[in-house]
Structure 1
Amino acid sequence: MTKILIIEDDDIIIATARDLLEAEGYEVITAETGQQGIDLAQQQIPDLIICDVMMPGVDGHHVLGALRTIPETNAIPFIFLTAKADKSDIRQGMKLGADDYLTKPYNRIDLLDAISSRLTKQNVLNQRFYDQVQQVEARLNYALYYDTLTGLPNRLLFREQFLKILAAKPIADPVVAVIYLSLDRYSQIRNNLGLNSANLLLKAVAVRLKETLGENASISRLQADEFVLFISGNSASLNAAQTCQAILGKLALPYELNQLEVYTTASLGIGLYPENGTELEELLDNARISMLYTRERGGNNFEFYKAEKFTRSLELVKLETSLHHALERNELEIHYQPQVSIQQGNIVGAEALLRWKHPEKGFVPPVTFIPLAEENGLIHEIGDWVLKTACLKVKSWQKAGLPPIRISVNVSSHQIYRPDFLDKVRRITQQTGLPLENLELELTESTLLHEVSIANIVLRRLRAVGIKIAIDDFGTGYSSLSYLKQFPFDTLKIDRQFVQNIGQDPESSAITLATIQMAHNLNLKVIAEGVETESELEFLRKHACEEIQGYYYSRPLPEGEFEKLLASNKRLEDVSYPFQEVL
């Protein structure tokens, strides 16, 4: 039943309106003062509000102004009742967001027509928003299961397909071969020919894999130039070897990328279920170790996983041992990537990105050592160091008179679910003296899904003391409207895979635009990651994205270089030649 709130200090008008509307089938609730009306609107969330303008104390204009600032009530249709027909009075109400005016005395037809008109318009707007939400969720659902660049299934869908095969297989036919594939020379091709050519290569590789294995084959793109597929059956081992030979031959043929003939080969590793693992992640790890072994020996080949040869790669063991000493040896450092206001053009924040400079290997990729740190528990000590170091550095820049900025620090699931996490964050901010409003914690979607209720409590307590919360890599995990509404986020960061080629790729453009609109409907600020071109920037500017982060403005910088950049007051309009990403 449609619920209507009447806010009116005249008992006779209230009684008359209530009788009339209840006779028409409406549910009616009433308030005799403006403040009661504000409170009742928040408690009951009516479908429409009728409010007198002239009331003692809190008048109708103040009621409307208050309700328009409350997210739960700011879209409720609002009709003023007034004994005055003064144009300036009407203009004031319309500026505040009134939907209609009724002049006292009104008749039955005028009142019912005004209500019907407002409710019809609101239903149209609600349906439009619902349709938009459905489209967004459909696109995000596609992005949840498919790689937007190649159209291949991603890791999540691959897992589901793998488990489905296992569930359907008879006991007598247990073998499944998982093949892990990585392109040789991909980084060199990307660095020399650029992102566009590298993307064309990945698309071409996806096409050739489907041509080799058939449209119904289980092929997925995991990340960058890494693909995975599986083969089942009693002859899986033999078929896997034959498949690898066919793939190697197909991928070795020349590619035409932007009128250039380019050659590349591939390294493949094979893990067998159940011989090399009964869990998918274990199989993938073992197949990947085999792939890396193949690459180290020149690539363009394949290798089966053998426990006696690959039992916990010696290289990985050495790396883990080195990681234990990285902090005490001052091998860890933080690079800062600017977050820039699109409207103002200046740096307003920075993301603190952890780097490990190994004395022999140089910079070790975070995707290599962060999982190690999480596995052996070092992530807590390292995470505390990152947070404290970043806060100290930003505070020192403030003391030096540099423009105040927000610092964003990534937090893993291993940190947030520790009972003392909240106390640690408070203690570090107190020790460093950084104002809480200058700190933002970034979490990925998967981080929050282990213990939703606990995560919600921790985040709300952090936000209650002034710390901002950002959801990172949005759209790459389990995104949904209910998910966004459930947690107290301030900022939504759009993952770079949706930003790349926006304005040119209709699917990426549609997903990015819909995500921005959805975030704004939920009063979230939007930061687009991975912005590398002027066309991407202009698309984001056109659609009211608040901030960008990416190589268009600056790569992540060591603290000294970032300090110089911050002091230079470099603006977006000063960018003459965007940074080029180096893998």
Structure 2
Amino acid sequence: MTTILVIEDVEALREEIMETLSYEGFDVLGAQNGVIGVQIATTYLPNLIICDIAMPELDGYGTLVALRQAPQTAMIPFIFLTAMTEKVDMRQAMQLGADDYLTKPFTSAELLGAIASRLQKYNSVREHYYDEIKAVGEKFAYLSQHDGLTQLPSRNLFYESLSQAILHAQLNHQSLALLFLDMDNFNIINNTLGSDIGDQLFKAIAERLRRYTAPCDMVARIQGDEFAMVISNVVDTAAVKKEAQKILDLLSRPYNLYGHEVFITSSIGITVYPDDHHDTEGLVKNAELAMYYAKTHGRNSYKLYTADLNVQSSEFMALANSLHRALDRHEIRVFYQPLVSLQTGKIVGAEALARWQHPDLGIIMPNKFIPVAEQTGLILRLSEQILFEVCEQMRIWESMGLDYGWIAVNLSGQHFQPDNNLLEIVAKVLKETGIDPLHLELELTEGIIMQNVEFTIALLSDLQDLGVKVAIDDFGTGYSSLSYLKHFPVNALKIDRCFIQDVTSDRHDATICLAIIDLAHSLALEVIAEGVETQEQFQFLKDHGCDHMQGYLFSQPLPTAEFAKMLSDGKSL
């Protein structure tokens, strides 16, 4: 029932209005002045208020102001009753927020007409308001369940759908596969081409996955560059592997965005219900762990979950926790593997190699802890610590009169991100230790160079302006373009050991080594062969003009004191 409040100080008129409205079927409340009227309106929240203007204690204007200031009564339709007919009075009433006014005397028909008009307008506005609230609520509900950029289901909806898919598989005695997908090196695209193209790439990836996914299955964007898929009614793991490879191929095809041809690969982790786990959380954990393994072991690949991954994950976490403490306690040791001239046989430098002197486990090799440092972000701190120690050690050797040539320090790809201030770090270390920059060489791989070509070229130029040497490590194993190579400000190429191992017995390896030597020399670069272990390898490299070598033929990596003794003894080939 519609409730109307009548605020009128003249009792006879108030009673007459209330009787008329009651007869018309309204629920009517009365108040003899504005103070009481405000109290009743606040308590009962009527659907409409009729109010006199000239009243004691609180007049109609004051009553309207009080009601409009309170959120719960601000929108109630308000009609003034007044004997004042001046336009200025009416204008004041409307400016304060009145919806209508009736001048006294008025007829019942005029009163009921004004009430009907105000209620109709109020109900129309209210319905529109509720429709907007409903629309906003529906949009909010949609956005809470879907990713705003790709329109794919978000994490919340995905978890609900995965739970339903598990229940369906359980009731029908079927298997399902859960795939977690992570885009490889997506940050490089954002850094080089901008976030707008990055967003468009996300949309394109989502559309490819949406079109690929069967109607009964699901694909969702979990977070950032991470997606998830459910494949129902799985026959066997061979079928899942086949699907995973199709997805890798699908996502690795080029994307044409704003005139750019963009390439990206992905890493996929796979787990199967009910073989690997029976509930949502367990399957998600398994898929994420398998995805992480695929990402850290080559990328652009998939990995099926196995129980062994849990053991590896526990070992990883244990190493990660210990590595934090190791850096604080300076447990990382630097070993030096001599670099030898193939023409003179003398030591011309060394490569600094990290070893972890663990208090319980003894020496831990870099292939164990460097991946941990990369994944945890500790690699920046680790490399800076090693760089300072190497430069400080060179200062000590100089004070001892030892000729060590130059020392090469390896850098991670994380150093070649715009925010990581590599140039400032190197300049600071050189200044604090006071060594000649020509004695320091920084090594980076082909993969690092190609992550962000323009930025890397500029950074390498700045490093060379400092006087530091630069070498490309493991050359031939990456994917650098020869057309780019001539633009890179580097001093040396290092031939990876995989080509040296069979250089005297495999004509393909021999051809690659000779090509690298010729290429380097044509660009006025020095060539260093890694992993030289036999006299035959040494002779082949020497005969074909390779400049320097390192490997067990001459020496394994040595602790600082042993390398210093080798220098002082003048050991040579």
Task: State TM-score, norm by structure 2.
Answer: 0.55
Contact kept? 1:270, 1:305, Cα under 8 Å: yes
Contact kept? 1:82, 1:104, Cα under 8 Å: yes
Aligned to 2:180: 180
Q: CA deviation at 1:52?
A: 1.0
In structure 2, relative to structure 1, the CA distance for the partners of 1:284 and 1:170 (3 Å cut) is closer
State the SS of the aligned residue for 1:49. strand
Aligned to 1:147: 147
Contact kept? 1:231, 1:239, Cα under 8 Å: no
Q: Aligned partner of 2:315: which letter? A: L
Aligned to 1:290: 290
Q: Distance in 1 between matches of 2:124 and 2:237?
A: 59
Aligned to 2:115: 115
In structure 2, relative to structure 1, the CA distance for the partners of 1:26 and 1:314 (3 Å cut) is same
In structure 2, relative to structure 1, the CA distance for the partners of 1:314 and 1:6 (3 Å cut) is farther
Contact kept? 2:177, 2:232, Cα under 8 Å: yes
Q: CA deviation at 1:235?
A: 2.1
Aligned to 2:315: 314
Q: CA deviation at 1:174?
A: 4.5
Q: Aligned partner of 1:309: which letter? A: L
Q: Distance in 2 between matches of 1:236 and 1:227?
A: 23
2:147 equivalent to 1:129: no
Q: Distance in 2 between matches of 1:6 and 1:324?
A: 78
In structure 2, relative to structure 1, the CA distance for the partners of 1:283 and 1:32 (3 Å cut) is same
Q: CA deviation at 1:319?
A: 5.4
Contact kept? 1:154, 1:221, Cα under 8 Å: yes
Q: Distance in 1 between matches of 2:322 and 2:160?
A: 35
Backbone CA RMSD of aligned residues: 2.5
In structure 2, relative to structure 1, the CA distance for the partners of 1:282 and 1:137 (3 Å cut) is same
Contact kept? 1:5, 1:48, Cα under 8 Å: yes
Q: Distance in 1 between matches of 2:322 and 2:34?
A: 68
Contact kept? 1:54, 1:82, Cα under 8 Å: yes
Q: Distance in 2 between matches of 1:270 and 1:73?
A: 58
Q: CA deviation at 1:182?
A: 0.7
Q: Distance in 2 between matches of 1:316 and 1:41?
A: 65
Q: Distance in 2 between matches of 1:37 and 1:319?
A: 71
In structure 2, relative to structure 1, the CA distance for the partners of 1:87 and 1:52 (3 Å cut) is same
Q: Distance in 2 between matches of 1:320 and 1:9?
A: 80
Contact kept? 1:176, 1:236, Cα under 8 Å: no
Aligned to 1:160: 160
Aligned to 2:378: 360
Aligned to 1:278: 278
- The superposition leaves residues 460-506 of structure 1 with CA deviations (integer Å, 9 ceiling, x where unpaired) of xxxxxxxxxxxxxxxxxxxxxxxxxxxxxxxxxxxxxxxxxxxxxxx
Q: Aligned partner of 2:378: which letter? A: E
Q: Distance in 2 between matches of 1:7 and 1:324?
A: 77
In structure 2, relative to structure 1, the CA distance for the partners of 1:169 and 1:18 (3 Å cut) is same
2:36 equivalent to 1:18: no
Aligned to 1:79: 79
Aligned to 1:545: none
- The superposition leaves residues 330-370 of structure 1 with CA deviations (integer Å, 9 ceiling, x where unpaired) of xxxxxxxxxxxxxxxxxxxxxxxxxxxx893569xxxxxxx
Count of residue pairs brought into register by the alignment: 332
In structure 2, relative to structure 1, the CA distance for the partners of 1:212 and 1:359 (3 Å cut) is closer
Contact kept? 2:290, 2:309, Cα under 8 Å: no
Q: Aligned partner of 1:110: which letter? A: E
Q: CA deviation at 1:294?
A: 1.1
**Structure whose CA Rg is larger:** 2
Q: Distance in 2 between matches of 1:236 and 1:149?
A: 34
Q: Distance in 2 between matches of 1:321 and 1:31?
A: 78
State the SS of the aligned residue for 2:245. helix
In structure 2, relative to structure 1, the CA distance for the partners of 1:109 and 1:272 (3 Å cut) is same
Q: CA deviation at 1:269?
A: 0.5
2:281 equivalent to 1:263: no
Q: Distance in 1 between matches of 2:271 and 2:218?
A: 15
Q: Aligned partner of 2:168: which letter? A: A
Q: Aligned partner of 2:282: which letter? A: E
Aligned to 2:210: 210
Matches within 5 A, 1:424-573: none
State the SS of the aligned residue for 1:133. helix
Aligned to 2:90: 90
Task: State TM-score, norm by structure 1.
Answer: 0.54
Q: Distance in 2 between matches of 1:222 and 1:175?
A: 22
Q: CA deviation at 1:322?
A: 8.6
Q: Distance in 2 between matches of 1:260 and 1:359?
A: 31
State the SS of the aligned residue for 1:93. helix
Aligned to 2:197: 197
- The superposition leaves residues 390-440 of structure 1 with CA deviations (integer Å, 9 ceiling, x where unpaired) of xxxxxxxxxxxxxxxxxxxxxxxxxxxxxxxxxxxxxxxxxxxxxxxxxxx
Q: CA deviation at 1:91?
A: 1.9
Contact kept? 2:99, 2:118, Cα under 8 Å: yes
- Segment drifting more, 207-216 vs 147-156: 207-216
2:233 equivalent to 1:233: yes
Q: Distance in 1 between matches of 2:214 and 2:117?
A: 57
Matches within 5 A, 1:59-78: 59-78=59-78
Identity of counterpart residues, as a percentage?
37
Q: Distance in 1 between matches of 2:377 and 2:263?
A: 34
In structure 2, relative to structure 1, the CA distance for the partners of 1:30 and 1:321 (3 Å cut) is farther
Unaligned ranges ≥5, structure 2: 328-375, 382-573
State the SS of the aligned residue for 1:68. helix
Q: CA deviation at 1:273?
A: 2.5
Q: Distance in 1 between matches of 2:227 and 2:377?
A: 31
Contact kept? 2:166, 2:279, Cα under 8 Å: no
Contact kept? 1:179, 1:240, Cα under 8 Å: no
Unaligned ranges ≥5, structure 1: 327-357, 364-583
Q: CA deviation at 1:53?
A: 0.8
2:69 equivalent to 1:51: no
Q: Distance in 2 between matches of 1:92 and 1:320?
A: 73
Q: CA deviation at 1:320?
A: 6.5
- The superposition leaves residues 227-276 of structure 1 with CA deviations (integer Å, 9 ceiling, x where unpaired) of 10122335253322111110111111111111111111100011222343
Q: Distance in 2 between matches of 1:176 and 1:313?
A: 27
Q: Distance in 2 between matches of 1:319 and 1:6?
A: 75
Q: Distance in 2 between matches of 1:172 and 1:93?
A: 71
Q: Distance in 1 between matches of 2:120 and 2:326?
A: 67
Q: Distance in 2 between matches of 1:10 and 1:24?
A: 22
